[in-house]
């Protein structure tokens, strides 16, 4: 879904200051006497960028939610009402419906699946516990099923037959929290365990269009998503008041998922482009946590809505003190100042000289924030050079230098 508390980004940037002038007219140059001298600005090579926040700043701020819960004693309902102005909480049916999730790591390739329990592929090919199924696609648009050996490491296969849409279902109706009985998707000899069922499809009739989709209940999906997007231990903070922040995250994640319609074959995906979903376990180690699972249960079925329709409930790590507006009114974020927030202030040295040629202004001689939203969030950046002046969006500038947010000021130097 975007940059969150659990997302780690490396910033690769360097920096420095300057300016210069040329001598004015002198008696030795009669033709220039009385003519104002024109300063020739020195080239800019670096800029010091001082900023606040991490992420797009739209909707809920995760550190802000933590601050409001632990410092101000807010409930999750108060937190959500603050960040998502003009909405209310509802229980729309879609917030409790099953989700289909594109497992992006499996795009465009064959699929190997195994389980510690018996499972069935394509409704007719039975596999014993521990045996693997290999699913392949041919250029003619046919999906072929092979029987493999034990677990994820083996490569031996025997052809069983074909299908046009391959479902993979465990014969155990409710494996509960027993990871070994869940379906395991193999990648590079390692396995990721998934609750629910799987489906192997070809989205556009080509080899590149192969997709593996996990069908899972909203609750089981959120058991993985919430601890991937917000630290579970926040629930323990301030004698348990941190639970309110985690419950606000659970509702926001449920709402965001319920509002998704990404593809014809799946509602959402499993990466930061949607929400981070890691399945139930990776190499046998659970991705879930009892504290976030409790937050999901405590808010079961609840979503942020307008007219009982889930909104696009975005969230990011830190708003920098004000949200960015957009679908929801921009509001002050006092909770963002919580002492645990490492993004309350940051400084980056940016090597900006290349912006001049890139944006057609020649040798860069100046760079500065040109406009803001009135709350410190930059909207545009002005570039001045030997060949003219232009403005670019603050997001373009942010992406060029890996900045954490658009809440920044710039000091240019030679």
Q: Using one digit for the tens of pLDDT, what is the confidence trace for 80-116? A: 999 999 999 999 999 999 999 999 999 988 899 999 9
Q: Exposure string (b/e) for 121-135, b if CB count within 10 Å is 16 or more?
A: bbeebebebebbbbb
Place of tokens 């940037």: 13
Residue 10 has pLDDT above 50, yes or no: no
Place of tokens 């601890």: 227
Q: What's residue 4's pLDDT?
A: 64
Residue 36: pLDDT band (50, 70, 90) is very low
Place of tokens 């509802």: 90
Domain ranges of the chain: 30-54+343-413, 60-98+219-316, 99-216
Place of tokens 């395991």: 184
Query: Left (φ > 0), alpha (ψ -120 to 50) or beta: where does 399 sit?
Result: alpha
Q: What's residue 190's pLDDT?
A: 87
Backbone angles phi, psi at 389, to 5 degrees: -135, 145
Report DSSP letters for 244-283, one per residue.
Answer: HHHHHHHHHHHHHHHT----SS-SEESSTTS-----SEET
More confident call, 128 vs 164: 128
Is residue 126 within 8 Å of 115, Cβ to Cβ?
A: no
Q: What's residue 6's pLDDT?
A: 59
Residue 29: pLDDT band (50, 70, 90) is very low
CB atoms within 10 A of CB 280: 23
Residue 328 has pLDDT above 50, yes or no: yes
Backbone angles phi, psi at 260, to 5 degrees: -80, 145
Share of the chain above pLDDT 70, in %: 90
The first and second tokens of residue 271, run together, are 């990466």
CA distance 260 to 99: 10
The first and second tokens of residue 153, run together, are 């490491």
Q: What's residue 143's pLDDT?
A: 86
Q: What's residue 3's pLDDT?
A: 53
Place of tokens 């940016």: 350
Is residue 402 within 8 Å of 7, Cβ to Cβ?
A: no
Residue 377: pLDDT band (50, 70, 90) is very high
Averaged confidence pLDDT in the chain: 89
Residue 363: pLDDT band (50, 70, 90) is very high
* Contacts of 143 by beta carbon, 8 Å cutoff, 6+ apart: 122, 135, 136, 137, 162, 163, 164, 165, 166, 200, 202
pTM assigned to the model: 0.87
More confident call, 37 vs 295: 295
Q: Parallel, antiparallel, or unpaired: how do β-strands 99-102 and 268-269 relate?
A: parallel
What is the average per-residue pLDDT within 191-214? 89
Residue 39: pLDDT band (50, 70, 90) is low
CA distance 53 to 33: 52
Residue 54 has pLDDT above 60, yes or no: yes
Q: What's residue 181's pLDDT?
A: 94
Selection from 378, 386, 393 nearest residue 49 by Cα: 378
Q: What's residue 133's pLDDT?
A: 94
Residue 20 has pLDDT above 60, yes or no: no
Q: What's residue 95's pLDDT?
A: 96
Pinpoint the alpha helices (H) of 61-181. 62-70, 76-83
Angle at Cα 403 formed by Cα 365 and Cα 392, nearest 5°? 45
Q: What's residue 14's pLDDT?
A: 33
DSSP percent split of the chain into helix, strand, coil, nearest 5: 25, 30, 45
């Amino acid at each position: 879904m975007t940059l969150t508390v659990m997302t780690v980004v490396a910033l690769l940037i360097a920096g420095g200051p300057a300016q210069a002038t040329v001598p004015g007219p002198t008696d030795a140059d009669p033709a220039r006497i009385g003519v104002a001298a024109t300063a020739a600005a020195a080239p800019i090579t670096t800029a010091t960028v001082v900023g606040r926040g991490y992420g797009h700043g739209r909707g809920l701020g995760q550190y802000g939610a933590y601050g409001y819960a632990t410092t101000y004693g807010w409930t999750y309902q108060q937190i959500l009402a603050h960040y998502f102005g003009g909405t209310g909480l509802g229980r729309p049916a879609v917030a409790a419906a099953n989700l289909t999730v594109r497992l992006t790591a499996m795009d465009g390739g064959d699929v190997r699946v195994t389980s510690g329990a018996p499972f069935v592929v394509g409704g007719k090919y039975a596999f014993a516990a521990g045996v693997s199924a290999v699913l392949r696609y041919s250029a003619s648009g046919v999906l072929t099923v092979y029987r493999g050996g034990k677990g994820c490491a083996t490569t031996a296969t025997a052809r069983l037959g074909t299908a046009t849409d391959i479902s993979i279902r465990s014969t155990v109706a409710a494996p509960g929290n027993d990871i070994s009985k869940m379906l395991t998707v193999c990648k590079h000899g390692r396995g990721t365990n998934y609750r629910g069922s799987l489906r192997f499809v070809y989205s556009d009739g080509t080899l590149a269009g192969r997709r593996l989709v996990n069908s899972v209940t909203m609750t089981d999906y959120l058991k993985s998503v919430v601890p991937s997007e917000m630290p579970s231990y926040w629930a323990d903070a301030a004698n348990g008041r941190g639970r309110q922040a985690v419950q606000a995250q659970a509702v926001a994640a449920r709402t965001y998922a319920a509002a998704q319609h990404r593809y014809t074959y799946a509602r959402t995906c499993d990466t930061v482009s949607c929400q981070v979903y890691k399945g139930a376990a990776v190499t046998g180690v659970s991705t879930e946590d009892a504290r976030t699972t409790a937050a999901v249960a405590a808010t079961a079925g609840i979503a942020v809505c307008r007219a009982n329709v889930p909104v696009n409930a975005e969230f990011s790590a830190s708003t920098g003190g004000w949200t960015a507006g957009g679908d929801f009114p921009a509001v002050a974020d006092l909770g963002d100042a919580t002492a645990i927030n490492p993004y309350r202030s940051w400084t980056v040295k940016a090597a900006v000289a290349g912006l001049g040629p890139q944006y057609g202004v020649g040798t860069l001689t100046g760079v500065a924030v040109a406009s803001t939203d009135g709350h410190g969030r930059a909207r545009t950046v002005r570039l001045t050079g030997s060949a003219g002046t232009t403005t670019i969006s603050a997001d373009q500038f942010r992406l060029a230098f890996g900045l954490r947010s658009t809440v920044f000021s710039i000091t240019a130097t030679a």
